[in-house]
Amino acid sequence: MEAVGDENSCDHTKARSVGCLGIGDSTLYQGFWIFAEALENIKDFQQNFNALDTDLLLASHPKSGTVWLKALAFAIVNRTRYPLLSSSNHHPLLTVSPHDLVPFLDLKHVYPASSLLDFTKSGSHDHHYSSCRLMATHIPYTSPPDSVTNSAINCKIVYICRNPQDTFISMWQFFNKMRTLPESNNKSTPSLSKMKKSCPLSLEDAFELFCNGVSDYGPYWDHVLGYWKESLERPCKVLFLKYEDLKKEPEPQLKKLAEFLGYSISVEEESVGVIKEIINLCSFQHLKNLDVNKHGKIWNNSLANKDIFRKGEVGDWKNYLTPVMVERLDRLMEEKLHESGLSY
């Protein structure tokens, strides 16, 4: 493994390469780690994107349930356009990946729909599927363009947070898959041919990097705390959801999400089962078994959609982490989070 630098000593205007829990070469940029290929897209987003009052932005640390939140939000805001209860259901979620229905603003090179975004044109994201600009980002709260965080613009942000143990295991599994993609898959994507030289990370090495805050889009705690604090200070601007709460009590969480997005679910809708329909449509088992998510490809056909849907459980970390690792992560989270009031 390459040496890991001290992030605190880094000049945040520059980026440099080191070993990182990520998909390949990563750099430290504005206080967070990012795989090198994403840097230009992030800068493009920061420099050229202009938020509108009506924009809805879904934010997350990688492997925290982004695709689930995308599906839920898409189904909620487009439910007049695409009714959930019709017998001949042609809902886009049945045939299109949630990642292509809700584009990433900072990962234009990964997902086909995201690559179509052109920030230099006004109203650049006039997506033919969606009734409003519903978009996503992984970048920390400190780094979106000013128009997103600016109090004069009313665009809203929903953040989904997942416990650090499951997030870590999910990242480790997913990134190792990316790091070891077969060479033949990489032909069309120069950035991936670079990545293939990365070796899979052992659990121990990955854990060390994660605990040192050296993981793509990390440190994890900085990412989570940025959105958490803003959700406390500006609850109308940022809604903070937890993956585990969505799993445990999906109905109230879904109602809260819909209300925050400005698409409240009426009593009449609730009485005819709209909430349950959305939950079922977006459930892990349902999405995972759709053809598009079983056989579709992303990242210039290099990565299979099915790799986005692994287990979708709370507590899978128990199958991997040793008691010593669990204790270390618990202590670390206590140290990093306790003053914030956010518990994990």
Task: Kindly list the catalytic residues.
Answer: 138
Pick 18 or 226: Cβ nearer ligand A3P: 226
Q: Which residue has the tokens 């109203």?
A: 123
If binding is defined by CB under 6 A, does position 91 make contact with ligand A3P? no
If binding is defined by CB under 6 A, does position 44 make contact with ligand A3P? no
Rounded (5°) CA angle 284-285-287: 65
Q: What Cα–Cα distance (Å) separates residue 69 from each residue in 18, 55, 128, 200, 246?
A: 31, 16, 20, 28, 10
Pick 18 or 135: Cβ nearer ligand A3P: 135
**Could you tell me how many residues of this chain bind ligand A3P (CB under 6 A)?**
21
Gyration radius from the chain CA atoms: 19
**Which pair of tokens denotes residue 314?**
């709370």
Q: Where are the beta strands (DSSP E) in 144-292?
A: 156-161, 238-242
Pick 95 or 150: Cβ nearer ligand A3P: 95
If binding is defined by CB under 6 A, does position 176 make contact with ligand A3P? no
If binding is defined by CB under 6 A, does position 67 make contact with ligand A3P? yes
> For residue 327, how far is the Cα from the chain centroid?
26
Cβ neighbours for 324, distance < 8 A, ≥ 6 positions apart? none
Rounded least distance, CB 254 to ligand A3P, Å: 12
Distance CA 182, CA 93 (A): 29
Rounded least distance, CB 68 to ligand A3P, Å: 4
Rounded least distance, CB 296 to ligand A3P, Å: 14
Q: Which of 27, 170, 176, 185 binds ligand A3P (CB under 6 A)?
A: 170
Pick 280 or 340: Cβ nearer ligand A3P: 280
If binding is defined by CB under 6 A, does position 64 make contact with ligand A3P? yes
Distance CA 49, CA 249 (A): 35
If binding is defined by CB under 6 A, does position 63 make contact with ligand A3P? yes
Pick 18 or 82: Cβ nearer ligand A3P: 82
Report the largest interatomic distance among the alpha carbons of the chain, rounded to a whole angstrom: 60
Binding mask of the shown chain, residues 298 to 327, with x at each position contacting ligand A3P by CB under 6 A: ----------xxxxx---x-----------
Query: Dihedral of the CA atoms 37, 40, 46, 51 (nearest 10)?
Result: -80
Distance CA 167, CA 153 (A): 31
Binding mask of the shown chain, residues 208 to 247, with x at each position contacting ligand A3P by CB under 6 A: ----------------------------------------
Contacts with ligand A3P by CB under 6 A lie at 60, 62-68, 166, 170, 173, 282-284, 287, 308-312, 316
